[in-house]
Amino acid sequence: MVPGITLNDGRTIPQLGFGVFQVPPPDTRAATAKAIEIGYRHIDTAEMYRNEKGVGEAIAASGLDRGEFFVTSKLSNAAHLPDDARRAFDKTLSELGTDYIDLFLIHWPLPTLYDGDFVQTWRTLEEFRKDGRARSIGVSNFTPVHLQRLFDETDTVPAVNQIEIHPYFVNDEFRAFNQKHGIAVEAYSPIAQGEVLDDPAITEIAGRAGKTPAQVVLRWHIQRGDIVFPKSKTEARVRENFEIFDFELDEASMAAITSLDRGEKGRTGGNPDTVDFVPKD
């Protein structure tokens, strides 16, 4: 049974989900359907992944009520201006084939674009929350500096902040800032896109626990209280990643994994202060 985390707006999010970054659009429906069959009810997609349609089709075909699912999507970097964001959000709902989304995020703050004005973008997400089409709203890749601007200039504290976190980039300072302000932390690239799985410290703990390295790392996140949604297009791994609630890591194992941190060098993704990628269409 996947535990729920209560967000600052009173809604509950399953702590484990299925991420679909880099799942090719034509494969997304089948991959998501398989994840649903295994038991996942929380799916993390984004406009820029171009695979919201496949997620929506799998949910529709599952035969389960829409209310059983927790679906997250994220605003494209190309759509930060308010009218663009409104159009993009309409398209997200239509691609997903749903009249509401559980959680909608600003994907990147883009402080070097749009005159650095992600506040106008956040106000537009506040509209989606007010009209009920986004049950919760949040951000991704926001640093404490970016968050502070939202606290100072708007009325809504984000429900979540989705940031890169894994044993090579534990990001504890940013996690603590979010926690202090009641923002739930979502850890993306939780197994560093596979890079941490051969680490001798992790394989040793996995051997002792009788679990795989991926299960040990995902369990580490769960015990830290973060929300995770590992991605895999391999059915056996999707299943394996779901089987992390029948064992516990002791304090020494938790500390040993945390000590693998490599700081900034450990990132697999971009630095939010400089990322300025904008998709062309």
Ligand X SMILES: NC(=O)c1ccc[n+]([C@@H]2O[C@H](COP(=O)([O-])OP(=O)(O)OC[C@H]3O[C@@H](n4cnc5c(N)ncnc54)[C@H](OP(=O)(O)O)[C@@H]3O)[C@@H](O)[C@H]2O)c1
Residues that bind ligand X (CB under 6 A): 19-22, 44, 107, 140-141, 162, 188-194, 197, 214, 229-234, 237, 240-241, 269
Catalytic annotation on 188?
A: no
Task: Give the span between the Cα atoms of 135 and 73, in whole angstroms.
Answer: 12
**124 or 141: CB nearest ligand X:** 141
Which of 93, 60, 187, 214 lies closest to 205 in space, CA to CA?
Answer: 214
Q: Provide the greatest CA pair distance for the chain.
A: 54
What DSSP state is assigned to residue 195? T
| Identity of the residue, 72 or 124, whose beta carbon is nearer to ligand X in the bound complex | 72
Residue whose CB is less far from ligand X, 130 or 258: 258
* Least distance between ligand X and beta carbon 174 (Å): 14
Per the residue annotation, which of 40, 49, 168, 188 is the catalytic one?
Answer: 49
Q: Which is nearer to ligand X, 65 or 122 (CB)?
A: 122
Query: Of 93 and 202, which CB lies nearer to ligand X in the complex structure?
Result: 202
Cα–Cα distances in Å, from 48 out to 53, 57, 75, 87, 211? 12, 18, 8, 14, 34
- Residue 77 CB, nearest approach to ligand X (Å): 10
The helix/strand/coil state of 271 is: coil
Report the C-alpha gap between 158 and 178 in whole angstroms.
9
Rg of the chain in Å (alpha carbons): 18
Shortest reach from residue 268's CB to ligand X, in Å: 7
Distance of CA 251 to CAs 201, 223, 229, 230, 258, Å?
14, 10, 23, 23, 11
Instruction: Identify the CA nearest to 265 among candidates 185, 159, 170.
Output: 170
> Shortest distance, CB of residue 41 to ligand X, whole angstroms?
15
Cα angle 144, 146, 152; round to 5: 95
* Positions marked active-site: 49
